[in-house]
Structure 1
Amino acid sequence: MINFNLQSLKKGMPGLTFEFAIPATKDNAWSETSKYLAESAFCFIEGIIYNNVSKYQNYGHWGTTEVNKEQWLSIKSELIKLKYKVDHSQNLNELKHDLFDFKFIFDDDDFQEMTKNFSQYKLPFSQMISDFTTWIDSNIQKYGSIYILGI
Protein backbone atom coordinates (compact mmCIF):
# COMPACT_ATOMS: atom_id res chain seq x y z
CA MET A 1 0.00 0.00 0.00
CA ILE A 2 1.41 3.38 -1.00
CA ASN A 3 1.45 5.94 1.80
CA PHE A 4 0.86 9.39 0.28
CA ASN A 5 0.82 11.19 3.65
CA LEU A 6 3.28 14.04 4.11
CA GLN A 7 4.43 13.24 7.63
CA SER A 8 6.10 14.83 10.60
CA LEU A 9 8.90 12.97 12.35
CA LYS A 10 7.76 10.01 14.42
CA LYS A 11 9.37 6.91 15.84
CA GLY A 12 9.61 3.90 13.63
CA MET A 13 8.88 5.53 10.29
CA PRO A 14 8.84 2.56 7.91
CA GLY A 15 10.73 2.06 4.67
CA LEU A 16 12.70 4.41 2.48
CA THR A 17 11.81 8.02 3.14
CA PHE A 18 12.59 11.42 1.64
CA GLU A 19 13.09 14.34 4.00
CA PHE A 20 12.25 17.96 3.17
CA ALA A 21 14.29 20.26 5.39
CA ILE A 22 14.81 23.93 6.07
CA PRO A 23 18.38 25.23 5.57
CA ALA A 24 19.23 25.23 9.28
CA THR A 25 18.64 21.48 9.53
CA LYS A 26 19.83 20.25 6.12
CA ASP A 27 22.88 18.59 7.69
CA ASN A 28 20.90 16.99 10.52
CA ALA A 29 18.76 14.22 9.08
CA TRP A 30 15.58 13.32 10.92
CA SER A 31 14.78 16.82 12.15
CA GLU A 32 11.51 17.61 13.88
CA THR A 33 11.10 20.69 11.67
CA SER A 34 11.23 18.58 8.49
CA LYS A 35 8.49 16.79 6.60
CA TYR A 36 8.78 13.23 5.28
CA LEU A 37 7.39 11.33 2.34
CA ALA A 38 7.69 7.65 1.49
CA GLU A 39 9.83 6.93 -1.56
CA SER A 40 6.91 5.07 -3.15
CA ALA A 41 4.83 8.27 -3.03
CA PHE A 42 7.60 10.71 -3.92
CA CYS A 43 8.38 8.73 -7.08
CA PHE A 44 5.10 9.95 -8.56
CA ILE A 45 6.27 13.58 -8.42
CA GLU A 46 10.03 13.12 -8.59
CA GLY A 47 10.21 13.80 -12.32
CA ILE A 48 8.99 17.33 -11.72
CA ILE A 49 11.89 17.93 -9.32
CA TYR A 50 14.32 16.20 -11.67
CA ASN A 51 13.27 18.37 -14.63
CA ASN A 52 13.39 21.67 -12.74
CA VAL A 53 16.44 21.34 -10.49
CA SER A 54 19.57 20.51 -12.47
CA LYS A 55 21.55 19.56 -9.35
CA TYR A 56 18.93 16.94 -8.52
CA GLN A 57 19.88 15.13 -11.72
CA ASN A 58 23.27 14.32 -10.15
CA TYR A 59 22.23 11.64 -7.66
CA GLY A 60 19.56 13.74 -5.95
CA HIS A 61 17.51 10.63 -5.26
CA TRP A 62 20.22 9.57 -2.82
CA GLY A 63 21.81 12.87 -1.78
CA THR A 64 21.00 16.38 -0.58
CA THR A 65 19.67 18.94 -3.04
CA GLU A 66 18.84 22.60 -2.49
CA VAL A 67 15.70 24.00 -4.14
CA ASN A 68 15.60 27.80 -4.38
CA LYS A 69 12.56 30.07 -4.83
CA GLU A 70 12.89 30.33 -8.60
CA GLN A 71 13.11 26.57 -9.02
CA TRP A 72 10.22 26.13 -6.60
CA LEU A 73 7.95 28.37 -8.67
CA SER A 74 8.51 26.13 -11.71
CA ILE A 75 8.02 22.98 -9.64
CA LYS A 76 4.88 24.35 -8.01
CA SER A 77 3.36 25.25 -11.37
CA GLU A 78 3.85 21.71 -12.64
CA LEU A 79 2.58 20.18 -9.39
CA ILE A 80 -0.60 22.23 -9.63
CA LYS A 81 -1.12 21.00 -13.20
CA LEU A 82 -0.50 17.41 -12.08
CA LYS A 83 -2.94 17.78 -9.19
CA TYR A 84 -5.61 19.02 -11.59
CA LYS A 85 -4.98 16.04 -13.86
CA VAL A 86 -5.07 13.61 -10.92
CA ASP A 87 -8.36 15.11 -9.74
CA HIS A 88 -9.89 14.73 -13.21
CA SER A 89 -8.41 11.38 -14.29
CA GLN A 90 -10.22 8.07 -14.23
CA ASN A 91 -7.11 5.91 -14.33
CA LEU A 92 -3.35 6.10 -13.96
CA ASN A 93 -2.76 5.68 -17.70
CA GLU A 94 -4.19 9.17 -18.23
CA LEU A 95 -1.22 10.50 -16.21
CA LYS A 96 1.36 8.41 -18.04
CA HIS A 97 3.10 11.40 -19.67
CA ASP A 98 3.13 13.43 -16.45
CA LEU A 99 4.93 10.93 -14.23
CA PHE A 100 8.60 10.16 -13.78
CA ASP A 101 9.73 7.38 -16.08
CA PHE A 102 12.78 5.94 -14.31
CA LYS A 103 11.88 2.29 -13.97
CA PHE A 104 14.59 1.64 -11.36
CA ILE A 105 12.80 4.01 -8.97
CA PHE A 106 9.26 2.74 -9.39
CA ASP A 107 8.71 -0.50 -7.57
CA ASP A 108 6.67 -2.67 -9.94
CA ASP A 109 4.37 -3.75 -7.10
CA ASP A 110 3.64 -0.14 -6.10
CA PHE A 111 3.04 0.90 -9.69
CA GLN A 112 0.74 -2.06 -10.30
CA GLU A 113 -1.06 -1.35 -7.02
CA MET A 114 -1.57 2.29 -8.02
CA THR A 115 -2.78 1.27 -11.49
CA LYS A 116 -5.20 -1.33 -10.17
CA ASN A 117 -6.60 0.79 -7.33
CA PHE A 118 -6.30 4.28 -8.78
CA SER A 119 -9.74 5.32 -7.54
CA GLN A 120 -8.62 4.62 -3.95
CA TYR A 121 -5.30 6.46 -4.35
CA LYS A 122 -6.58 9.46 -6.28
CA LEU A 123 -7.62 11.55 -3.27
CA PRO A 124 -4.53 10.77 -1.12
CA PHE A 125 -2.25 11.51 -4.11
CA SER A 126 -3.99 14.83 -4.75
CA GLN A 127 -3.90 15.71 -1.03
CA MET A 128 -0.18 14.90 -0.88
CA ILE A 129 0.47 17.42 -3.65
CA SER A 130 -1.57 20.05 -1.78
CA ASP A 131 0.17 19.39 1.54
CA PHE A 132 3.60 19.36 -0.11
CA THR A 133 3.08 22.66 -1.92
CA THR A 134 1.63 24.32 1.18
CA TRP A 135 4.55 23.26 3.39
CA ILE A 136 7.20 24.28 0.87
CA ASP A 137 5.48 27.59 0.06
CA SER A 138 5.47 28.52 3.73
CA ASN A 139 9.07 27.54 4.38
CA ILE A 140 10.64 28.79 1.17
CA GLN A 141 9.19 32.23 1.91
CA LYS A 142 10.81 32.19 5.36
CA TYR A 143 14.16 30.65 4.47
CA GLY A 144 14.72 31.31 0.75
CA SER A 145 15.21 27.63 -0.06
CA ILE A 146 14.46 24.12 1.13
CA TYR A 147 16.51 20.94 0.92
CA ILE A 148 15.53 17.50 -0.31
CA LEU A 149 17.38 14.79 1.58
CA GLY A 150 17.18 11.65 -0.54
CA ILE A 151 17.01 8.12 0.73
Structure 2
Amino acid sequence: MINFKLRSLESEMEGLNFEFAPPPFKNTHWNATSKYLAESAFSFIEGIIYYNVPNYQNFGHWGATQVTQQQWLLIKPQLFTLKQKVIKAQNFTELRDDLFDFAFIFDKTWQKEMSKNFLKYKLSFSQMISDLIIWIDENMQKYSSLYILGV
Protein backbone atom coordinates (compact mmCIF):
# COMPACT_ATOMS: atom_id res chain seq x y z
CA MET A 1 0.00 0.00 0.00
CA ILE A 2 1.26 3.48 -0.88
CA ASN A 3 0.75 6.11 1.82
CA PHE A 4 0.35 9.49 0.10
CA LYS A 5 -0.36 11.37 3.34
CA LEU A 6 1.91 14.33 4.14
CA ARG A 7 2.50 13.70 7.83
CA SER A 8 3.79 15.45 10.89
CA LEU A 9 6.24 13.70 13.18
CA GLU A 10 4.67 10.63 14.75
CA SER A 11 6.05 8.46 17.50
CA GLU A 12 6.24 5.39 15.25
CA MET A 13 6.86 6.24 11.62
CA GLU A 14 7.20 3.02 9.67
CA GLY A 15 9.31 2.44 6.61
CA LEU A 16 11.58 4.85 4.80
CA ASN A 17 10.51 8.49 4.85
CA PHE A 18 11.59 11.74 3.25
CA GLU A 19 11.68 14.73 5.57
CA PHE A 20 10.93 18.29 4.48
CA ALA A 21 12.72 20.44 7.05
CA PRO A 22 12.61 24.21 7.43
CA PRO A 23 15.84 26.02 8.37
CA PRO A 24 17.88 26.14 10.37
CA PHE A 25 18.94 22.62 9.47
CA LYS A 26 21.72 21.36 11.72
CA ASN A 27 22.23 17.80 10.48
CA THR A 28 19.42 16.51 12.67
CA HIS A 29 16.54 14.36 11.53
CA TRP A 30 13.05 13.77 12.86
CA ASN A 31 12.31 17.44 13.54
CA ALA A 32 8.91 18.33 15.01
CA THR A 33 8.55 21.26 12.58
CA SER A 34 9.13 19.03 9.53
CA LYS A 35 6.71 17.19 7.29
CA TYR A 36 7.21 13.62 6.10
CA LEU A 37 6.38 11.54 3.03
CA ALA A 38 6.81 7.82 2.61
CA GLU A 39 9.48 6.93 0.07
CA SER A 40 6.86 5.18 -2.06
CA ALA A 41 4.79 8.39 -2.32
CA PHE A 42 7.79 10.67 -2.86
CA SER A 43 9.00 8.50 -5.73
CA PHE A 44 6.10 9.73 -7.86
CA ILE A 45 7.29 13.36 -7.62
CA GLU A 46 11.02 12.80 -7.14
CA GLY A 47 11.84 13.39 -10.80
CA ILE A 48 10.50 16.94 -10.57
CA ILE A 49 12.88 17.62 -7.69
CA TYR A 50 15.76 15.83 -9.41
CA TYR A 51 15.55 17.92 -12.59
CA ASN A 52 15.05 21.29 -10.87
CA VAL A 53 17.50 21.05 -7.97
CA PRO A 54 21.00 20.27 -9.32
CA ASN A 55 22.36 19.42 -5.85
CA TYR A 56 19.68 16.75 -5.47
CA GLN A 57 21.34 14.88 -8.33
CA ASN A 58 24.34 14.29 -6.07
CA PHE A 59 22.87 11.55 -3.89
CA GLY A 60 19.86 13.63 -2.73
CA HIS A 61 17.76 10.51 -2.39
CA TRP A 62 19.96 9.53 0.56
CA GLY A 63 21.28 12.86 1.83
CA ALA A 64 20.27 16.41 2.72
CA THR A 65 19.52 18.87 -0.09
CA GLN A 66 18.66 22.54 0.22
CA VAL A 67 15.86 23.78 -2.04
CA THR A 68 15.95 27.52 -2.66
CA GLN A 69 13.01 29.78 -3.31
CA GLN A 70 14.10 30.14 -6.95
CA GLN A 71 14.14 26.36 -7.37
CA TRP A 72 10.75 26.12 -5.68
CA LEU A 73 9.36 28.55 -8.26
CA LEU A 74 10.36 26.00 -10.94
CA ILE A 75 9.05 22.98 -9.01
CA LYS A 76 5.68 24.36 -7.91
CA PRO A 77 4.06 24.78 -11.37
CA GLN A 78 5.26 21.32 -12.39
CA LEU A 79 3.67 19.80 -9.28
CA PHE A 80 0.48 21.73 -9.94
CA THR A 81 0.39 20.50 -13.56
CA LEU A 82 0.94 16.93 -12.37
CA LYS A 83 -1.90 17.32 -9.88
CA GLN A 84 -4.25 18.47 -12.65
CA LYS A 85 -3.25 15.52 -14.82
CA VAL A 86 -3.78 13.09 -11.94
CA ILE A 87 -7.29 14.47 -11.42
CA LYS A 88 -8.15 14.06 -15.12
CA ALA A 89 -6.50 10.67 -15.63
CA GLN A 90 -8.59 7.51 -15.68
CA ASN A 91 -5.61 5.20 -15.28
CA PHE A 92 -1.96 5.30 -14.32
CA THR A 93 -0.76 4.76 -17.88
CA GLU A 94 -1.99 8.24 -18.80
CA LEU A 95 0.63 9.70 -16.42
CA ARG A 96 3.64 7.72 -17.61
CA ASP A 97 5.05 10.63 -19.67
CA ASP A 98 4.68 12.97 -16.68
CA LEU A 99 6.52 10.76 -14.20
CA PHE A 100 10.24 10.17 -14.32
CA ASP A 101 11.47 6.63 -14.23
CA PHE A 102 14.47 6.17 -11.97
CA ALA A 103 15.21 2.49 -12.31
CA PHE A 104 17.29 2.53 -9.13
CA ILE A 105 14.73 4.46 -7.08
CA PHE A 106 11.28 4.03 -8.58
CA ASP A 107 10.39 0.58 -7.31
CA LYS A 108 8.53 -1.55 -9.87
CA THR A 109 6.31 -2.81 -7.05
CA TRP A 110 5.02 0.74 -6.50
CA GLN A 111 4.38 1.13 -10.23
CA LYS A 112 2.38 -2.10 -10.26
CA GLU A 113 0.49 -1.10 -7.13
CA MET A 114 -0.33 2.29 -8.61
CA SER A 115 -1.41 0.76 -11.92
CA LYS A 116 -3.64 -1.78 -10.24
CA ASN A 117 -5.25 0.63 -7.77
CA PHE A 118 -4.99 3.98 -9.55
CA LEU A 119 -8.60 5.00 -8.93
CA LYS A 120 -8.17 4.20 -5.24
CA TYR A 121 -4.97 6.29 -4.99
CA LYS A 122 -5.92 9.12 -7.33
CA LEU A 123 -7.51 11.38 -4.70
CA SER A 124 -4.82 10.85 -2.06
CA PHE A 125 -2.02 11.41 -4.63
CA SER A 126 -3.65 14.66 -5.74
CA GLN A 127 -4.21 15.73 -2.11
CA MET A 128 -0.56 14.99 -1.26
CA ILE A 129 0.57 17.38 -3.98
CA SER A 130 -1.82 20.09 -2.73
CA ASP A 131 -0.74 19.65 0.89
CA LEU A 132 2.93 19.74 -0.07
CA ILE A 133 2.52 22.91 -2.16
CA ILE A 134 0.68 24.68 0.67
CA TRP A 135 3.22 23.65 3.32
CA ILE A 136 6.25 24.55 1.20
CA ASP A 137 4.73 27.89 0.15
CA GLU A 138 4.17 28.82 3.80
CA ASN A 139 7.73 27.89 4.75
CA MET A 140 9.32 29.57 1.73
CA GLN A 141 7.66 32.82 2.80
CA LYS A 142 9.26 32.47 6.25
CA TYR A 143 12.68 31.01 5.39
CA SER A 144 13.36 31.39 1.62
CA SER A 145 14.56 27.77 1.51
CA LEU A 146 13.97 24.33 2.97
CA TYR A 147 15.75 21.00 3.11
CA ILE A 148 14.80 17.62 1.76
CA LEU A 149 16.30 14.91 3.91
CA GLY A 150 16.50 11.64 2.03
CA VAL A 151 15.95 8.17 3.35
Q: Is the TM-score greater than 0.5?
A: yes
Instruction: Give the distance between the partners of 2:17 and 2:130, measured in 1 at CA.
Output: 19
Instruction: Give the distance between the partners of 2:135 and 2:35, measured in 1 at CA.
Output: 8
Aligned to 1:144: 144
Q: Is the 8 A contact 1:26 1:147 kept in 2?
A: no
Aligned AA (1:16): L
Q: Does residue 95 in structure 1 map to residue 86 in structure 2?
A: no
Aligned to 2:64: 64
Aligned AA (1:108): K
3-state secondary structure, aligned to 2:139 = helix
Instruction: Give the distance between the partners of 2:26 and 2:126, measured in 1 at CA.
Output: 27
Structure 1 length normalisation: TM-score?
0.98
Aligned to 2:30: 30
Measured on the aligned residues, the alpha-carbon RMSD in Å equals: 0.8
Q: CA deviation at 1:25?
A: 3.5
Moved over 3 A (4+): none
Instruction: Give the distance between the partners of 1:47 and 1:123, measured in 2 at CA.
Output: 20
Cα distance change, pair 39–26 in 1 and its aligned pair in 2 (3 A): farther
Instruction: Give the distance between the partners of 1:49 and 1:26, measured in 2 at CA.
Output: 22
Aligned to 2:47: 47
3-state secondary structure, aligned to 2:134 = helix
Q: Is the 8 A contact 1:20 1:147 kept in 2?
A: yes
Q: Does residue 2 in structure 1 map to residue 2 in structure 2?
A: yes
Q: CA deviation at 1:38?
A: 0.2
Q: Does residue 113 in structure 1 map to residue 113 in structure 2?
A: yes
3-state secondary structure, aligned to 1:24 = coil
Q: Is the 8 A contact 1:23 1:143 kept in 2?
A: yes
Structure 2 length normalisation: TM-score?
0.98
Percent of matched pairs sharing the same residue = 63
List alignment gaps of at least 5 residues for structure 2.
none
| Deviation digits for residues 122-141 of structure 1 (CA, Å, limit 9, x no counterpart) | 00000000000000000011
Q: Is the 8 A contact 1:69 1:145 kept in 2?
A: yes
Instruction: Give the distance between the partners of 1:94 and 1:128, measured in 2 at CA.
Output: 19
3-state secondary structure, aligned to 1:102 = coil
